[in-house]
């Protein structure tokens, strides 16, 4: 995995889907090299049309979780597959996946406990479904792998669209 150094600031009036797809494409292009296949992705939690990013600190994580408690929100992931030929020409196939997560009501005690685990520190929306944050989710509609971080079905379709067979690609093992 090679992190891409890009500006992740949303543009004025940029909707969440356009935002995550743009970031996924920029990340993939930023690290593409001749003869490579690169996957770029970006996930946002969206509540009432507002993108909830990673928390700035644990107090911010607690505020976000209080907002999500007892409510439904969207998890939107942009995915881009960049295929670079040996001459450096880049082809990008991109798209997005959207899932809906419904949280149980969260007590202050639950939020304080979870935030103290440190799991919320680097997570969009201040939780990770694959860890202890999974205790909060009452229901997930759509791709669970999307909420965890990378929508595998969407990735497979985009790779196919880009001419990459995941099952026989040299990096698949």
Q: Which residues are catalytic, by number?
A: 42
Backbone angles phi, psi at 48, to 5 degrees: 55, 40
- Are 21 and 40 in contact, with CB atoms under 8 Å apart? no
Cα–Cα nearest to 75, from 55, 54, 99:
99
Count the neighbouring beta carbons within 10 Å of the beta carbon of residue 22.
Answer: 19
Each residue of 79-94: b (16+ CB within 10 Å) or e? bbbbbbeeeeeeebbb
Q: Two tokens at 83? A: 């295929």
Q: Which two tokens stand for residue 161?
A: 């669209």
């Amino acid at each position: 995995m090679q992190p891409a150094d890009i500006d992740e600031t949303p543009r004025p009036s940029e909707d969440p889907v356009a935002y995550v797809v743009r970031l996924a494409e920029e990340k993939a292009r930023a690290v593409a090299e001749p003869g490579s296949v690169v996957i770029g992705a970006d996930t946002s939690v969206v509540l009432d049309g507002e993108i909830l990013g990673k928390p700035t600190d644990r107090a911010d994580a607690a505020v976000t979780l209080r907002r999500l408690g007892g409510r439904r929100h969207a998890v939107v992931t942009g995915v881009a597959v960049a295929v670079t030929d040996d001459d450096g020409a880049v082809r990008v196939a991109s798209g997005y996946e959207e899932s809906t997560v419904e949280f149980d009501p969260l007590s202050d005690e639950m939020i304080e406990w979870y935030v103290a685990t440190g799991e919320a520190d680097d997570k969009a929306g201040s939780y990770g479904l694959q860890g202890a944050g999974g205790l909060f989710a009452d229901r997930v509609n759509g791709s669970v792998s999307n909420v965890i971080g990378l929508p595998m079905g969407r990735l497979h379709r985009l790779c196919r669209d880009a001419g990459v067979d995941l099952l026989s690609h040299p990096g698949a093992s």
